[in-house]
Amino acid sequence: MDLPVQILNSLNYILVLILVAMGLAIIFGLMRVINMAHGEFFLLGAYTVVLTDQAGLGFWLGLLLAPILVGGIGMVIEYICIRHLYRRFLDTILATWGLSIAIKQLIIIVFGPAGLMIKPPLPQMVSFMGIEYPSYRLFIMAVALVTIGLTFYIFLKTDFGLGARAVIDNRDMAAVLGINTRKMYRTTFTFGSALAGLAGAVMAPLMSCDPQMGLGFFIPAFLAILTGGTGTLAGVLVGGGAVGGADSLISFLYSPVVSQIVVFSMVIVVIRIRPQGLLGTKSGR
Amino acid sequence: MLKIENLHASYGGSLVLHGVNLSIQPGEIQALMGRNGMGKTTLMRTIMGLLSSRSGTITFDGQPIQNLRTHEIAAKGLGYVPQGREIFGDFTVWENLHLGTLKLPRNQRKVPEEVFDYFPILKERKNQKAGSFSGGQQQMLAIARALVTRPKMLLLDEPSEGIQPSIVDQISEILKKINAQTGLTILIVEQNVDMVLETATRCAFMEKGRIVETCSMEDIRKDESIITCHIAV
């Protein structure tokens, strides 16, 4: 594989990573909940596609269904579990960690522990600028770009986004102005879950779908947020770019082991020098 | 308008309000004075549902509100300007004001023009970051933001704190004007004697989590020692 192809692959990985990290960051920023089950929302998205593929309904229906289904699951989880734990930071980590284990086991019970492949939805190659590139990977990038753009639009330009940012900034004051913070939490948790579900579904054809696949995106997404900072959505872009880019390029140039070492060291250095992250502004909150 | 009976509430684990009784009539500007740490801010936050009460009742407009959530209390018509103003510093002036309209249906989300009549500076600077404002301007923004929610009653917690005297006078004038023109009921927690004398019609004094005395402004003007007796350190 030559470098231009690898750069496109990196970009591909970065964009999907940002999709996952954005959901995680929004949920953390708004509710101070570190959702340890976020990787499993990715997993559920991928298995939605596996399910529709196995049932003969095809990939595209699964792709459409995944964010809706996973968003719905997120909403239910928020209602029966998370909402009772707000302001109990450690408890939410334990609860969502437990949830992540439960979801993984549930997937093993239903689908078995083995990796499952699905039929490539767009098997053609496209050639441009002298290289051959899988058209499905271009499709992934388009989906991720549109979704990231839409998320930015929602959070920066709409009334809902203004309210959400107000809750992130000062929850009590937002409530005083008449904003229903709990409803805001539920909507946001649903939205964040749906983002992870979409990312899982769109990535499913490129990966072997197994019950551990969520972790492969959860950890780098987490590192991306630590690197970029949680105060702003732009921090997720920078963090996702840094972590995703370093990870995939160093894996290609050297080996995945070296890339893990480099990425973790990089994150440690960033946290040591700028605990609030590269773009983070609030250190105390 | 607002009636508080035997209210007990704690803050940070210790009981701060030990049976507060306070009644505010529609259309009046009532001041609440007291030394630091007597529970004034705790009382305000409890009224707004930001702290929960242990016992007692809070009745607003004839309905009990002590078990409602903060946004529901705001929807009943209570506006709150907290101590330290708590404006959204990273947001523009317009965004700060617009936040007060989000509880309304989409087609009614408009900042009322009167707000800019009272605070013309906010219109001039509506695209400026609120964090770049001076303390006095931030206070005006905080009051305007509360007015945008179209309250029947306004709670103000130390609006003069950290603000230069000329602006304090200006804010006093505006509050009186709003009260006279719209009949808005105001409860104002204040340590600034001049501001209380200037704006209020009645004054209650708080000591150790209870209201110890309530008197009219005429009584106080006749005998200012009432104030010094309750708030002098």
Domain housing B163: 2-231
Pairing of strands B2-11, B14-24: antiparallel
* Interchain CB distance below 8 Å, B50 and A174: no
Which residue has better confidence, A2 or B71? Answer: B71
pLDDT of residue A276: 82
- C-alpha–C-alpha distance, residues A247 and A251, integer Å: 6
* Interchain CB distance below 8 Å, B88 and A170: yes
* Interchain CB distance below 8 Å, B69 and A169: no
The ranges assigned to domains in chain A are 3-121+130-211
pLDDT of residue B233: 61
Q: Which residues contact A238 (CB under 8 A, 6 or more apart)?
A: A227, A228, A229, A278, A279
HSE-up of residue A11 (Cα within 13 Å, Cβ side): 15
pLDDT of residue A285: 37
The shortest C-alpha distance from B233 to chain A (Å) reads 31
Q: Output Rg (C-alpha) for chain A, integer angstroms.
A: 19
* Total of domains in chain B: 1
Residue pair B187/B154 in contact (Cβ under 8 Å)? The answer is yes
Q: Which residues in chain B have Cβ-Cβ distances shorter than 8 Å to A181?
A: 70-71
pLDDT of residue A163: 94
User: Which of A169, A177, A182 lies at the smallest CB-CB distance from B149?
Assistant: A177
Choose among A35, A23, A3: nearest CA to A233. A23
Residue pair A243/A224 in contact (Cβ under 8 Å)? The answer is yes
What b-and-e string marks burial along A89-102, b requiring 16 or more CB atoms within 10 Å of the CB? eeebeebbeebbee
Q: Which residues in chain A have Cβ-Cβ distances shorter than 8 Å to B49?
A: 175
A239-243 LR contacts (CB < 8 Å, sep 24+): A239/A21, A239/A277, A239/A278, A240/A14, A240/A17, A240/A18, A240/A21, A241/A14, A241/A18, A242/A266, A242/A278, A243/A17, A243/A267
Token pair of A250 as six digits: 């160093």
Residue pair A232/A240 in contact (Cβ under 8 Å)? The answer is no
Q: Which residues contact A170 (CB under 8 A, 6 or more apart)?
A: B86, B88
Q: Which residues contact A172 (CB under 8 A, 6 or more apart)?
A: B50, B70, B82, B86
- C-alpha–C-alpha distance, residues B225 and B205, integer Å: 13
Which CATH number belongs to the domain containing residue B65 in this structure? 3.40.50.300
* Interchain CB distance below 8 Å, B69 and A182: yes
pLDDT in tens, chain A (285 residues): 578 888 999 999 999 999 999 999 999 888 888 999 999 999 999 999 999 999 999 999 999 999 999 999 999 999 999 988 888 889 999 999 999 999 999 999 999 999 999 888 888 999 888 888 999 999 999 999 999 999 999 999 999 999 999 998 899 999 999 999 999 999 999 999 999 999 999 999 999 999 999 999 999 999 999 898 877 788 899 999 999 999 998 988 899 899 999 999 999 999 888 888 887 765 433
Phi and psi at residue B215, in whole multiples of 5°?
Answer: -145, 165
Residue B213 has a CB neighbour count (10 Å cut-off) of 14
What is the model's pTM? 0.87
Average pLDDT, chain B: 92
Choose among A16, A49, A246, A267: nearest CA to A147. A16
Mean pLDDT of B193-221: 90
- C-alpha–C-alpha distance, residues A118 and A61, integer Å: 13
Phi and psi at residue A117, in whole multiples of 5°?
Answer: -105, 150
Pairing of strands B63-64, B53-60: antiparallel
Token pair of A12 as six digits: 């591909």
Q: Which residues of B touch A (CB under 8 A)?
A: 48-50, 69-71, 74-75, 80, 82, 86, 88, 90-91, 95, 98-100, 102-103, 106, 109, 145, 149
E strands along chain A, which residues? 125-128, 131-134
The shortest C-alpha distance from A164 to chain B (Å) reads 10
- C-alpha–C-alpha distance, residues A25 and B200, integer Å: 47
* Distance from the Cα of residue B106 to its chain's centroid: 27
Residue pair A10/A245 in contact (Cβ under 8 Å)? The answer is yes
Nearest CA in chain A to B155: A176
Token pair of A273 as six digits: 């020098």
Phi and psi at residue B62, in whole multiples of 5°?
Answer: 85, -5
Q: Which residues in chain A have Cβ-Cβ distances shorter than 8 Å to B80?
A: 176
Nearest CA in chain A to B78: A176
The interface predicted TM-score of the complex, written ipTM, equals 0.92
Q: Which residues in chain B have Cβ-Cβ distances shorter than 8 Å to A175?
A: 49-50, 69-71, 74
- C-alpha–C-alpha distance, residues A42 and A217, integer Å: 8
Percent of chain B with pLDDT over 90: 81
User: Which of B75, B86, B103 lies at the smallest CB-CB distance from A173?
Assistant: B86
The shortest C-alpha distance from A266 to chain B (Å) reads 30
Q: Which residues in chain A have Cβ-Cβ distances shorter than 8 Å to B69?
A: 175, 180, 182
Strands of the sheet containing B2-11, edge to edge, are B14-24, B2-11, B53-60, B63-64
With 80 as the cut, is the pLDDT of residue B173 above it? yes
Choose among B77, B80, B69: nearest CA to B187. B80
Choose among B85, B149, B97: nearest CA to B126. B97
Mean pLDDT of B116-138: 94
Mean pLDDT of B171-196: 94
- C-alpha–C-alpha distance, residues B39 and B42, integer Å: 5
The shortest C-alpha distance from A248 to chain B (Å) reads 35
